[in-house]
């Protein structure tokens, strides 16, 4: 089998979706999942409040059983929230929902990538914690040819289930890659360098994300605050690391 798709020889690599994650997971030390609207942004909001977040790929009857087994609350769809079920994939809702120590957060994109990581360490990254993620990985010696990092943009889904590359995830990945490079990580693969260039070349990040396809979907659907929270660049120093099946916050030692 050829291995051209592994971006070998590079300390920082970039790919899309669950299939890309499975490919990179074959030989990277760490996978950074980026799902800006809204899985990994929601994970940071919950994790910085002290919640352990269990990713789950399906929002169906099996999710209820999965949550019961873990003695966790289950997040519902944005429009399905009730006083008894105030947790959802909405970052704005998670900020105001009652604090819960354990939460199952279904997501067909970000969760599927986390599940595809195999033995690699998995980190939830987004625009809110891009600098913190880059600093933590660099401090752990990741981002080199011997301990490469794979940054995976989740993307969205077309109605037929195929991958729709999403601009907001490209920018979130680029922000993390830019920080890794600033910390001395590298070399960057061509794919990673292009993602970095997309981020550094975007003059108005908040406006760009609000006007892209995924941003318009949320804004026009009545959830503009979710987009605003997702573009709080470097507002969060917590780095959620997947440990024993749940994302748990690790503080960036270089913050403050």
34 in Cβ contact with 129 (< 8 Å): no
Would you state the pLDDT for residue 225? 98
Task: Give the span between the Cα atoms of 130 and 212, in whole angstroms.
Answer: 20
Quote the number of domains for the chain.
Answer: 1
Higher pLDDT pick, 114 / 118: 114
| pLDDT at residue 256 tops 50 | no
Collapsed DSSP state (helix, strand, coil) of residue 72: coil
Q: Is residue 252 part of a domain?
A: no
Angle between helices 213-220 and 167-182 (to 10 degrees): 120
- The proportion of the chain whose per-residue pLDDT surpasses 90, expressed as a percent, equals 85
Q: Stretch 40-68: mean pLDDT, rounded?
A: 93
For residue 61, give its domain range: 9-242
- Reported as a single tens digit per residue, the pLDDT across 89-106 is 999 999 999 999 999 999
Residue 9: count other Cβ atoms within 10 Å of its Cβ: 10
- Reported as a single tens digit per residue, the pLDDT across 12-26 is 999 999 999 999 998
Q: Stretch 179-193: mean pLDDT, rounded?
A: 97
Task: Give the span between the Cα atoms of 55 and 145, in whole angstroms.
Answer: 29
- Reported as a single tens digit per residue, the pLDDT across 26-40 is 899 999 999 999 999
Task: Give the span between the Cα atoms of 48 and 61, in whole angstroms.
Answer: 28
Query: Is the CA virtual torsion 104, 110, 116, 122 positive or negative?
Result: negative
Q: Stretch 169-185: mean pLDDT, rounded?
A: 98
Would you state the pLDDT for residue 163? 94
Q: Is residue 247 part of a domain?
A: no
Binned at pLDDT 50, 70 and 90, residue 60 comes out as confident
Q: Is residue 4 part of a domain?
A: no
Q: Is residue 117 part of a domain?
A: yes
- For the chain, give the number of residues: 256
| pLDDT at residue 137 tops 50 | yes
Angle between helices 190-200 and 167-182 (to 10 degrees): 100
Q: Is residue 254 part of a domain?
A: no
CATH number, domain of 103, equals: 3.90.1560.10
Would you state the pLDDT for residue 1? 46
Among 75-84, 185-194, 211-220, where is mean pLDDT lowest?
A: 75-84
Would you state the pLDDT for residue 62? 92
Q: Is residue 255 part of a domain?
A: no
Residue 99 in tokens: 């604090």
Please list the residues that pair with 104 across neighbouring strands. 54, 74
Binned at pLDDT 50, 70 and 90, residue 234 comes out as very high
């Amino acid at each position: 089998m050829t291995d051209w798709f592994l971006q070998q020889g590079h300390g920082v690599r970039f790919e899309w979706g669950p299939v890309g994650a499975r490919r990179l997971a074959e030989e990277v030390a760490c996978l950074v999942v980026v799902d800006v609207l809204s899985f990994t942004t929601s994970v940071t909001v919950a994790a910085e409040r002290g919640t352990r977040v269990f990713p789950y790929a399906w929002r169906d009857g099996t999710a209820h059983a999965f949550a019961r087994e873990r003695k966790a609350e289950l997040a519902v769809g944005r429009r399905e929230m009730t006083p008894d079920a105030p947790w959802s994939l909405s970052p704005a809702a998670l900020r105001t929902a009652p604090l819960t120590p354990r939460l199952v957060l279904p997501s067909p994109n970000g969760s599927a990538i986390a599940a595809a990581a195999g033995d690699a360490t998995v980190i939830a990254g987004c625009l809110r914690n891009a600098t913190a993620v880059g600093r933590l990985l660099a401090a752990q010696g990741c981002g080199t040819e011997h301990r490469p990092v794979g940054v995976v943009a989740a993307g969205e889904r077309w109605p037929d289930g195929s991958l729709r590359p999403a601009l907001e995830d490209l920018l979130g990945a680029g922000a993390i890659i830019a920080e890794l490079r600033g910390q001395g990580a590298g070399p960057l693969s061509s794919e990673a360098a292009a993602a970095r260039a997309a981020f550094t070349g975007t003059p108005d990040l908040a406006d760009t994300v609000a006007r892209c396809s995924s941003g318009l979907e949320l804004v026009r659907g009545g959830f503009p605050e979710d987009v605003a929270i997702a573009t709080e660049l470097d507002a969060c120093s917590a780095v959620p690391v997947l440990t024993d099946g749940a994302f748990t916050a690790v503080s960036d030692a270089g913050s403050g």
